Structure 1
Amino acid sequence: MIDIPLSALEVAMVQTGTRAVDTLRDTAAFAQELERLGYHRIWYAEHHHSPAIGAFPPVVLTAHAAASTSAVRLGSGGVLAPNHAPITVAEQFGTLAALHEDRIDLGIGRGPGTFDEGIARALRRGAGPTTDAEYREDVASILSLLVDEVALGPLPEPWLLASSTAGAALAGKLGLPVAVAHHIRPENTRAVLDHYRTAFTPSRWCARPRVLLCVETVCAETEEEALWRGGPMNVVKAGLLKGVSDMPFPTPAEAAAHPFTEEERQALAGFRAQQAVGSPDTVVRRLAQLADETGADELMLTTPVHDFRDRVRSYELIRKHLG
């Protein structure tokens, strides 16, 4: 039913009642479990100053997971270019690629990774938001420096993350594979894909348009259990709808007791309908539908649930259902 690679996006949620060190311990175990299950790659997202998501640099998590696995591809999804000097990004991921040949990806994104303007400015040493031109220059510099600085060794595989038509057009123009953030802005997916494929120019990095689609995916034995496990992320999303980003990641029981407004319920149901949440049959059918509708070459699943075992179980059920 699904004949393209399946991968995972790890956002390193810090569960209520746990410490950041517990989340870090789980990242290596998570990578080992997904390697055992046959997932193609795992990416780590960059976030800052959030009580729900750990501020763990993707390059560090990539190195940590690579040291305890042997086959699964690993990398950033993504490292946020405006927060880093291009040469630093090139050197860090070039070094990882040299240490773990043919296993390292460099997914590059634009956002600040935080809703706190003070933290965003601190990351950029006092500078304001990055302009389109500055972002294009940063990405081009990273690609150029990868070749110049690591020319004698293996290179990481670069990707550009996109949730807007501008990002998609840039990925196409540079001839990069694109990772589409369907799990964040599903309403933009069709336009993003159209702009990317129209703008695509072959490059040393990619000979043809290549699309990875990231989908929020929660799979459990029953529909009801999947909704229960996915409840905590609904609380986080409801907060974001109000412009509130400082809430912790609740337990499923806390989420079930959360007083959602009717407007929030409708918005969350609309978002969930565009993702993949439910029993194995429901989830696999939905993922196959998304792959068919978008022509994606790969699906990346992100599963923001509270318990580490439940998160691994979600990926396990999907693999088991696919045989």
Structure 2
Amino acid sequence: MLEIPLSALEVAMVQAGSRAVDTLRDTAAFARGVERLGYRRLWYAEHHHSPAIGAFPPVVLTAHAAASTSVIRVGSGGVLAPNHAPLTVAEQYGTLAALHEDRVDLGMGRGPGTFDEGVARALRRGAGPATDAEYRQDVAAVLEFLVEEVALGPLPEPWLLASSTAGAALAADLGLPVAVAHHIRPDNTAAVVERYRSGFVPSRWCERPRVLLCVETVCAETEEEAVWRAGPMNVVKAGLLQGVSRRPFPTPAQAAAHVFTPHEMQALAGFRAQQAVGSPETVVGRLARLAAETGADELMLATPVHDLHDRLSSYALVRSHCGGAGR
């Protein structure tokens, strides 16, 4: 049994042959579905210029989800701070928090949200990648503006996303809860968690270290069905291994017909072994092991399966078999 809260990350994959607007229209139904299942929070990731992932601003999806639900926490996982003016971020999420009291999270990250250098520069008004000092300044400015300039009422709950020890150190120094991107860089997880806990300084935002661990999770009644549903994301990942970021999100049938190189197969197998893909028994076992190894306070499940029914089925199976704590 797994007695810690469970949450969901919406990546908004756009299936080959469908339209981004179709994915967008599913977001409200998905939000209501994970709310009914008892998930604690639902976050939206920022992505740009990808044929596989919808370029839907997290703040817009957060507002839409908040209006479509009643109790689940909603927010960004995350809004990428260097892409936005800090005051704008504070005003947007401060307004949402005032409209939906005690339900809004503001998860902030560093990456550009795209593999296209031209798009990244356009987002950052011609600037290159943010330095450590610039990123820290952006995050600190958002927090300051929330308190001193916005302050419409209840504030959003800030989180910092981290996939490296540098991100963990910043979260610890600012006294923020940390969301660890195990679903992106699992080999860094242990070092990230250790660095965060060892350097944590209490703040007005968080009195003690709080760790949320995000895990790629695809659950089905059988191992074979879970692997089938997870196949499309494997094709996208294989493209990234080759430096190809413009690969669309295929159907499961297209993914099953894809020929992987031996190197890709080895890399994908190593990654999958650190995530949670399989039958309910396999998935619950892996999630429980990760929670025990990291001491995570909460698990967030990322399920990059496009079909709405299959995605919600995965979340439902996990909830029904692991006994995760409620909200």
Shorter-chain TM-score: what band? over 0.9
Q: Residue 129 of structure 1: CA displacement?
A: 1.1
State the partner residue of 1:96: 96
Gaps of 5+ in 2: none
1:31 matched to which residue of 2? 31
Structure 2 letter corresponding to 1:129? P
One-letter code aligned to 1:284 = V
CA deviation profile, 1:62-96 (whole Å, cap 9, x unmatched): 00011010000000000000000000000000000
Q: Is the 8 A contact 1:28 1:68 kept in 2?
A: yes
Q: Which runs of 5+ in 1 are unaligned?
A: none
1:64 is aligned to: 64
Distance 1:295 1:219 in 2: 23
- Asked whether the 8 Å contact 2:95–2:152 carries over to 1, the reply is no
2:155 aligned with 1:168: no
User: How many equivalent pairs are there?
Assistant: 323
Supply the AA of the counterpart residue of 2:94.
Answer: G
Separation in structure 2 between the aligned mates of residue 228 and residue 152 of structure 1, nearest angstrom? 47
Please give the secondary structure, in 1, of the residue aligned with 2:160: strand
Superposition RMSD in Å: 0.7
Question: Alpha-carbon deviation of 1:307?
Answer: 1.2
Equivalent in the alignment of 2:321: 321
State the distance in 1 between where 2:180 and 2:322 align.
Answer: 23
Contact 2:8–2:39, Cα closer than 8 Å, also in 1: yes
Paired amino acid for 1:45: A
The aligned residue for residue 145 of structure 1 is: 145
| Cα offset, 1:17, TM superposition | 1.4
**Map of 2:42 onto structure 1:** 42
Contact 1:252 1:306 in 2 (8 A): no
Matching of residues 216-255 of structure 1 within 5 Å: 216-255=216-255
1:83 aligned partner: 83
Q: Does 1:5 align with 2:5?
A: yes
Q: Aligned runs of 1:251-270 on 2, under 5 Å?
A: 251-270=251-270
Task: State the 1:285 CA deviation.
Answer: 1.1
Q: Secondary structure at the match of 1:78?
A: strand
CA separation in 2, counterparts of 1:196 and 1:128? 27
User: Structure 2 counterpart of 1:211, which letter?
Assistant: V
Q: Which residue of 2 aligns with 1:307?
A: 307
Offset, 1:152? 4.6
Structure 2 CA distance, aligned partners of 1:55 and 1:152? 29
Q: Within 5 Å, which residues of 2 pair with 1:99-178?
A: 99-178=99-178
**Equivalent pair of 1:94/1:156 in contact (CA under 8 Å):** yes
Does structure 1 retain, via aligned residues, the 8 Å contact 2:98–2:152? Answer: no
Q: Which residue is 1:187 aligned to?
A: 187
Asked if the contact 1:14–1:53 (Cα under 8 Å) also holds between the matched residues in 2, the reply is: yes
Aligned: 1:16 with 2:1: no
Structure with the bigger RCO (C-alpha within 8 Å, sep 6+) is 2
Cα distance between partner residues in 1 of 2:285 and 2:81: 35
Match of 1:21, SS state, is helix
Could you report, residue by residue, the CA deviation over 1:76-128 in whole angstroms, capped at 9, with x for unpaired residues? 00000000000000000000000000000000000000000000000011111
Q: Secondary structure at 1:67's aligned position in 2?
A: helix
| Contact 2:218–2:278 (8 Å) recurs in 1 | yes
Alpha-carbon separation, structure 2, partners of 1:322 and 1:46: 29
Query: Counterpart of 1:191 in structure 2: which amino acid?
Result: A
> Please, what TM-score do these two structures have when normalized by structure 1?
0.99
The percentage of aligned residue pairs carrying the same residue is 82
User: For residues 73 and 158 of structure 2, what CA distance do their matches in structure 1 show?
Assistant: 12
Q: Is the 8 A contact 1:221 1:280 kept in 2?
A: yes
